[in-house]
């Protein structure tokens, strides 16, 4: 990917983007952080890691401070027996950014990460300058059968066999299996196969099941933040969605946009569930334009109370 005039010609060296570690509340937290200036926090989806942003972080970090954690239970972060709810994840992201010296940020969340940053903006509105949801969970019931089936009883017993080395090495078998489940060939299958591979680790597998069951049941997504989207009316708010998303339908993005008329909706016609991977150049262009053409939100206690009363 070559940067356009919109994204800038500067790209940070790869060594500045290497994974770092800190300890929060006794648990190891891995993260990538680079750049200087106003903070942008990038939050990945379930079974993914901060590496999902690797094609956009070097360019964002040329203008901003970028913080991209591996959520607990994912990647190189600890995988304790503990709380994997959206609220716990939101608090963890808040604690990481504050520990790194940032009180406020633009929050960008993909898939599960969208639910996390929505929860963060709800719990800590004073921390949120802008909110960007990328093919986000938490905006409707529908979700791919693959995720719904993983919440069924005894899925913990089946997952080790599905994530066996023999099966993972058979790339064509994995692709065919995902294809039969309605997943879009190409990036969606490749990215989900990476996440699928992580489930060979027992601790990661337990964290995955625990996390998933807090937000999804066999009938679909359990969490729906649509009734609280009115709280985003005074925060610069953008939705980015791949029109060919085979995990969470693009209709969720369109509906959320209708509920918040002041929001911005960007649909990537040729992208699936990972538009920042399918078309990183366009993703950079729309994200940077959004940040640079909006003023950071300033939500005080009185304004927050007024919105809650008006929405009750």
Q: Is 39 exposed, middle or buried (0-12, 13-18, 19+ CB in 10 A)?
A: buried
The pLDDT tens digits of the residues spanning 219-231 come to: 988 888 888 888 7
Query: Helix or strand or coil: residue 118?
Result: helix
Pick the closest to residue 201 from 66, 26, 73, 62 (CA basis): 73
Query: Two tokens at 157?
Result: 């017993």
Q: CA–CA distance from 118 to each of 3, 19, 263 (Å)? A: 29, 25, 14
Q: What is the dihedral of CA 43, 45, 50, 55, to 10 degrees?
A: -100
pLDDT at 152: 72
Query: Two tokens at 200?
Result: 């060979």
Query: Does the pLDDT of residue 143 top 60, yes or no?
Result: yes
Query: Two tokens at 296?
Result: 């950071």
Mean pLDDT for 198-223 is 86
The pLDDT tens digits of the residues spanning 234-281 come to: 899 999 999 999 899 999 999 999 999 999 999 999 999 999 999 999
pLDDT confidence tier of residue 169, bands split at 50, 70 and 90: very low
Mean pLDDT for 74-89 is 95
Q: What's the rounded Cα separation, in Å, for the pair 107 and 85?
A: 18
Q: What's the rounded Cα separation, in Å, for the pair 276 and 61?
A: 15
Q: What is the mean pLDDT of the chain?
A: 84
Task: Tell me the catalytic residues.
Answer: 111, 245, 273
Q: What's the rounded Cα separation, in Å, for the pair 58 and 17?
A: 7
Query: Does the pLDDT of residue 105 top 70, yes or no?
Result: yes
DSSP state of 208: H
Query: Two tokens at 158?
Result: 């089946």
* Residue, of 124 and 150, whose pLDDT is higher: 124
DSSP state of 133: E
Domain range annotation of the chain: 14-142+220-305
The pLDDT tens digits of the residues spanning 27-74 come to: 999 999 999 999 999 999 998 999 999 999 999 999 999 999 999 999
For helices 202-215 and 155-162, the axis angle rounded to 10 degrees is: 130
Domain 14-142+220-305: CATH superfamily, name plus number: Alpha/Beta hydrolase fold, catalytic domain (3.40.50.1820)
Place of tokens 């959004």: 290
pLDDT confidence tier of residue 14, bands split at 50, 70 and 90: low
Q: What's the rounded Cα separation, in Å, for the pair 291 and 114?
A: 17
């Amino acid at each position: 990917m070559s940067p356009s005039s919109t994204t800038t010609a500067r790209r940070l060296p790869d060594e500045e983007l290497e994974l770092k570690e800190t300890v929060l509340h006794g648990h190891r937290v891995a993260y990538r952080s680079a750049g200087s200036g106003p903070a942008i926090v990038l939050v990945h989806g379930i079974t993914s890691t901060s590496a999902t942003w690797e094609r956009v972080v070097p360019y964002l970090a040329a203008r901003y401070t970028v913080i991209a954690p591996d959520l607990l239970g994912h990647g190189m972060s600890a995988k304790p027996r503990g709380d994997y709810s959206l609220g716990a994840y939101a608090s963890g992201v808040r604690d990481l950014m504050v520990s790194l010296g940032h009180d406020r940020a633009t929050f960008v969340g993909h898939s599960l990460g969208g639910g996390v940053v929505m929860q963060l903006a709800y719990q800590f509105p004073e921390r949120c300058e802008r909110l960007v949801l990328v093919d986000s969970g938490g905006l409707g019931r529908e979700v791919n059968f693959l995720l719904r089936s993983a919440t069924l009883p005894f899925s913990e017993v089946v997952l080790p066999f599905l994530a066996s080395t023999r099966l993972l090495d058979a790339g064509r078998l994995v692709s065919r299996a995902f294809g039969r489940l309605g997943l879009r060939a190409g990036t969606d299958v490749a990215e989900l196969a990476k996440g699928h591979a992580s489930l060979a680790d027992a601790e990661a597998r337990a964290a995955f099941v625990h996390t998933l069951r807090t937000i999804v049941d066999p009938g679909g997504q359990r969490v729906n933040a649509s009734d609280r989207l009115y709280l985003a009316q005074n925060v610069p708010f953008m939705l980015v969605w791949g029109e060919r998303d085979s995990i969470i339908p693009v209709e969720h993005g369109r509906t959320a946009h209708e509920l918040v008329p002041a929001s911005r909706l960007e649909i990537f016609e040729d992208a699936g569930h990972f538009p920042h991977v399918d078309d990183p150049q366009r993703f950079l262009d729309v994200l940077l334009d959004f940040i640079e053409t909006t003023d950071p939100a300033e939500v005080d206690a009185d304004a927050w109370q007024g919105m809650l009363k008006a929405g009750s």
